Amino acid sequence: MDLGAQPLFFRWPVSWIWDFTASAFLLSSAFIVTLDVAEKNTRTLWLSLGALWAVIALTNPALLSVMPFTFLYAAFVNHRSFRPWFASAAFAGVLFAALVSPWLIRNERVFGRPVFFRSNLWFEFHLGNYHFSNGLGFSGKHPGANAAVFKKYAGMGEKGFLDYYKEDGLRFVHEYPSEFLDLTLQRTWWFWDSTSLLYQGREWWQPWEFWPLSLGGWLGLLFVFTRLPRGWLLFAAALLVYPVPYYFVYPVAKYRQAIEPELLLLSVYFVFVLWSEIRGLAHRKAQLLTRNFSRVDFLSAAHLTWHTEIPRQSRSGKRSCSGAVDVQGLIRKAVGHENTAHSGSDTRHCRDRSCHCASLFGR
């Protein structure tokens, strides 16, 4: 399915020159390669997985939180199948480190200290966490929108600017822990229902156009947990792990774009499983009704046979030697398998106990 052709998915790629489409494509590609590694376990596929994650790290480092789960899933499946995997996984890890190391070396030379891919984490944390914040990241405090803040940034330098706001953000958490907790819980919900759209100027999308995909994805994940299909851990990581940093910083609707292909697949899986369950329930109900109708037909036939055959047997004396009506014969007749002939053993039995029969029948 071409996600770019769906109105729900081209909102951000056509309005922002950013990594949204690339992030969604690369994460989906990583999942596909992971499934191939788990199934085929070739050295080439393992190296491809390591190289692909290096590209993802340099494109959108936020996706790296999912990376360990892809390696873990591939290793687990191969270990369970008693296939050697450790050496290939180690080579993949070495390739990943080699491909991202030039950027990390560059950061250390520029900042004078190790910086993991991006340097602005703590400033972004400050935008969503200060006293009386709405928790959604106030753009008015950003140097790109505030001339005074930009002047401060230019005067302090990037390193000093980031250190200052790191201390400021941590001070807020220390002084207002309950407020930080409330904001974090609210952001956890807002990430999925796109409440942030209400705070964005000139925004034509509404939250009701976004949250159904979140709902479908989570319902699909619940079915995934009950059935554990192929690749279940990857989808769980996408929904449970990837959004966590945004819960602590601030959520924006466009940040969900990276995992929207997975949300779509989970939504389709939910509909498929639900439809299968409904069909299975209807089939079982039909079988139950069929058995009940068969039982009713049998009882009706038995009732009719009982009322027609008992008087006939009473007049002809066709009773068992115990004095009971030939119930088994009536049942066989009711279901169309009446055997009118008595076995020789039954005849001998009645002959041997003729006195007892005579006393019961009054003969």
263 found inside a domain: no
Domain membership of residue 348 as a residue range = 278-361
SS3 319: strand
State how many domains the chain has: 2
Unique residue bearing structure tokens 């056509």: 14
Tell me how far apart the alpha carbons of residues 257 and 264 are, in angstroms, rounded to a whole number. 11
Phi first, then psi: what are they for 84, rounded to 5°? -70, 130
Residue type, 158: E
Whether residue 293 has pLDDT greater than 70? no
162 found inside a domain: no
Interval 214-227: pLDDT, tens: 999 999 999 999 99
Cα separation values, 260 from 26, 184, 256, Å: 12, 22, 6
Higher per-residue pLDDT: 17 or 355? 17
**Angle of CA points 193, 197, 200, to nearest 5°:** 160
pLDDT at site 112: 85
Higher per-residue pLDDT: 220 or 199? 220
5 found inside a domain: no
pLDDT band at 342 (very low <50, low <70, confident <90, very high): very low
193 with 218: CB under 8 angstroms?
Answer: no
* Lowest-confidence segment of 79-83, 197-201, 297-301, 349-353 by average pLDDT: 349-353
Tell me how far apart the alpha carbons of residues 344 and 320 are, in angstroms, rounded to a whole number. 13
160 found inside a domain: no
Alpha-helix runs per DSSP H in the chain = 20-40, 43-59, 67-80, 86-111, 121-128, 147-175, 177-193, 211-227, 232-240, 244-248, 260-316, 327-334, 344-352, 354-361
Whether residue 266 has pLDDT greater than 50? yes
133 found inside a domain: no
Tell me how far apart the alpha carbons of residues 118 and 359 are, in angstroms, rounded to a whole number. 105
Last residue of a domain, which of 93, 117, 141? 117
Last residue of a domain, which of 91, 117, 143? 117
In the chain, the percentage of residues whose pLDDT exceeds 90 is 56
42 found inside a domain: yes
73 found inside a domain: yes
Average pLDDT, the chain: 83
Count of positions (residues) in the chain = 363
126 with 249: CB under 8 angstroms?
Answer: no
Strand partners, 325: 319
Selection from 6-15, 51-60, 114-123 with the highest mean pLDDT: 51-60
Task: Please name which of 85, 23, 27 lies closest in space to residue 59, comparing C-alpha atoms.
Answer: 23
Last residue of a domain, which of 117, 142, 165? 117
Q: Which two tokens stand for residue 21?
A: 């489409």
340 found inside a domain: yes
